[in-house]
Amino acid sequence: MADPVLSLDDARLTLDGNAGPVEILRGITLDVGRGETVGLVGPSGSGKSSLLMLMGGLERATGGTVTALGRDLTAMGEDALARFRRNHMGVVFQSFHLIPTMTALENVATPLELAGADDAFDRARAELEAVGLGPRTGHYPAQLSGGEQQRVALARAAAPRPEILLADEPTGNLDGPTGETIMDLLFGLNARHGATLILVTHAPDLAARCSRTVRLEDGRIAGGDVARAAE
Ligand SMILES: Nc1ncnc2c1ncn2[C@@H]1O[C@H](COP(=O)(O)OP(=O)(O)OP(=O)(O)O)[C@@H](O)[C@H]1O
Ligand SMILES: [Mg+2]
């Protein structure tokens, strides 16, 4: 692949469990090209969220390498990683990770302010409107439903227009029509801004809209149309 934005070479993740080390990712080799949309699928516990964390530099690989935009994430310190993420990546976690003491608007505006935007709050308001939460901007996370929190998390990740957007089950808590809106928003980021998308999903319709799927089983790539990875 000519210009991979993400490149994993035999990436491994072994964590210490109560009963000894647990091999969570067992050698993942994968290239993702600029502007690709990749659906990460596979059964519960197969390692999808863990793989997303490695790609985002939120977990450090215990073996192999993870390269993003030409930078070896496995060799970067915590501060450099945090800065790299802030400048290049958006991440939507499976459990949202909203800041409980901030309103929806403040949650979305924060990364824009950190990036130095002087219109952070206007842009944050527009992002929340785009996910259908215009009337909820002043609510705290505890005052929002699960699906609403998910949409705030997505607005927050999308607002700085990251080159790489990693999202863990972005439509997992949403009804059909709201899920459609969110999918359109995600694929719009790809179409309009060239964002590379990595989406963990159990939803066949979301996976089908991706340019390819990668299937994990028991910490390994087990299929999907990974043949394209070798292009
Ligand atoms: N901190 C940890 N310590 C030990 N094992 C862990 C830890 N975090 C995750 N695991 C294990 O790693 C495996 C992969 O977990 P992961 O969350 O990546 O799965 P997943 O594919 O995202 O599943 P789901 O579809 O249910 O979200 C699971 O068996 C899980 O129990
Ligand atoms: Mg998961």
* Residue span of the structural domain in which 164 resides: 6-227
d(CA 92, CA 85): 12
| pLDDT score recorded for residue 215 | 96
Q: What is the CATH number of the domain that holds 144?
A: 3.40.50.300
211 touches 37 (CB < 8 A): yes
15 membership: H or E segment, kind and range: strand 4-17
* Helix (DSSP H) and strand (DSSP E) numbers for the chain: 7, 10
Q: Is 44 in the pocket of ligand 1 (CB under 6 A)?
A: yes
Q: Is 201 in the pocket of ligand 1 (CB under 6 A)?
A: no
- Quick check: is 107 in a domain? yes
| pLDDT score recorded for residue 167 | 96
Q: Is 95 in the pocket of ligand 1 (CB under 6 A)?
A: no
Q: Which atom of ligand 1 is nearest to the CA of 47?
A: 18
pLDDT (average), residues 26-45: 96
Q: For the sheet with 71-72, list strands across it.
A: 20-33, 4-17, 63-68, 71-72
Q: Is the pTM higher than 0.85?
A: yes
| pLDDT score recorded for residue 231 | 40
Rg (CA), the chain: 17
Q: Whose CA is nearest to atom 17 of ligand 1?
A: 49
| pLDDT score recorded for residue 2 | 65
Q: Which residues pair with 41 in a beta bridge?
A: 215
**Closest ligand to the CA of 28:** 1
pLDDT (average), residues 10-37: 95
For residue 65, give the amino acid letter.
T
Kind of pairing between the strands at 20-33 and 4-17: antiparallel
Q: How far is the CA of 66 from the centre of ligand 1 (A)?
A: 19
Each residue of 126-177: pLDDT tens digit? 999 999 999 999 999 999 999 999 999 999 999 999 999 999 999 988 888 8
**63 vs 174, more confident:** 63
169, two tokens: 């089950």
* Coil, strand or helix at 69: coil
**Closest ligand to the CA of 14:** 1
Q: Is 18 in the pocket of ligand 1 (CB under 6 A)?
A: no
Q: Is 21 in the pocket of ligand 1 (CB under 6 A)?
A: no
- Quick check: is 53 in a domain? yes
184 touches 196 (CB < 8 A): no
When divided into structural domains, the chain yields a total of 1
- Quick check: is 1 in a domain? no
**Which mutation among 16, 22, 25, 166 tests ligand 1's pocket best, with the greatest number of atoms within 8 A of CB?**
22
- Quick check: is 106 in a domain? yes
**Closest ligand to the CA of 21:** 1
Q: How many CB atoms lie within 10 A of CB 231?
A: 9
